[in-house]
Amino acid sequence: AEHQHARYNPLRDDWVLVSAHRVKRPWQGQLEKPPPEDVPRWDPKNPLCPGATRANGEVNPQYEGTFVFPNDFPALQPDAPEPDDSDHPLFRAAPARGVCKVMCFHPWSDLTLPLMSLAEIRTVIDAWAELATDLGASYPWVQIFENKGAMMGCSNPHPHCQVWASSFLPNEARLEDRTQREHLSQRGVPMLLEYAEQEAHRKERLVVENADWLVVVPYWATWPYQTLLLPRRHVCRLQDLREGERDSLASIMKRLLIKYDNLFEVSFPYSMGWHGEWRAPTGPHLEEDCRHWQLHAHYYPPLLRSATVRKFMVGYEMLAQAQRDLTQEQ
């Protein structure tokens, strides 16, 4: 606990350097501004609010629950042309098509997920599952992700997430697909199902749990308060969750995010996202064995010592490997 060591991340097939003593060093670096506390509940200039006009001139409906619309500035478009053929193997390009959507969680701008009711969070989960199903019928990968807080690049305080569906398998998904497939082949059990059982038994890094889910600081976590949300049952996709599992997911998400907010008494910034089985159970993938995948969500919060001191992934992290300043158990 007091001496540096490296820990293996089987999900990414890489290592993290743990330097527990470094959190004690004096800090004279950048201090972050805490998030504003006076966010108006409704602002006609906020493009995510009900009835507001967005950049493309479209007017949002007076929505009362979740609201999904195409991203006005998408990173992926369905009709992008094919790139030119490469004349050398070191200069390769590949097609990249898809769709990008924005999903508002609630009509009020001054709310975040931990402040929403369980019924409202359950509505978000159902909308996630519906989007994953609809977009997954046309695209091999659907990435649901939320950037919360200006520190994590969120330009709008309104509670929302994004959903990008792509014609290709992104790097992180491709890596997790390989490592989980290899683990099932070697040990005969899905990696994250076995991992959840181990963490539930050891209780060294367990943050919160209920009958269907558990949240842990992973043994291999790289961010200071990184967590991994795991189902206890073998589940491949969000849309495969049972009614009761969706209710208990809403509960454990709310409990986790309240703990984050209470840690430094600030609306905790993070980036989070869902990873699940990427082959739609239809069409050409109908007969493929996808048992190696286990549904899970990653939470990556940047705060390190307080509401104003963050962890920077620079220098050694960029040029060598990930490094953290306190043990995962601490």
* List 3, 5, 88, 160, catalytic entry: 160
φ, ψ at 150 (rounded to 5°): -60, -30
296 in a labelled binding site: yes
Clarify whether 160 is annotated catalytic: yes
162 in a labelled binding site: yes
Give the Cα separation of 201 and 195 in Å (integer): 10
275 in a labelled binding site: yes
198 in a labelled binding site: no
Give the Cα separation of 121 and 207 in Å (integer): 20
148 in a labelled binding site: no
323 in a labelled binding site: yes
330 in a labelled binding site: no
What is the residue-wise DSSP string for 36-72?
A: PS---S--TT-TTSTT-B-TTSPBPP--SS-EEEE-S
276 in a labelled binding site: no
Contact 295, 231 (CB under 8 A): yes
72 in a labelled binding site: yes
317 in a labelled binding site: yes
Q: What is the 3-state secondary structure (H, E, C) of 224-239?
A: CCCEEEEECCCCCCHH
Cα-trace Rg, the chain: 21
φ, ψ at 174 (rounded to 5°): -60, -40
Q: Which of 151, 148, 149, 147 is nearest to 32 (CA)?
A: 151
316 in a labelled binding site: yes
Which residue ranges make up the annotated binding site for Fe cation?
176, 275, 296, 298
Catalytic residues: 160
Which residue ranges make up the annotated binding site?
22-25, 55, 71-72, 147, 153-155, 162, 176, 275, 296, 298, 311-312, 316-317, 323
Which residue ranges make up the annotated binding site for UDP-alpha-D-glucose?
22-25, 55, 71-72, 147, 153-155, 162, 311-312, 316-317, 323
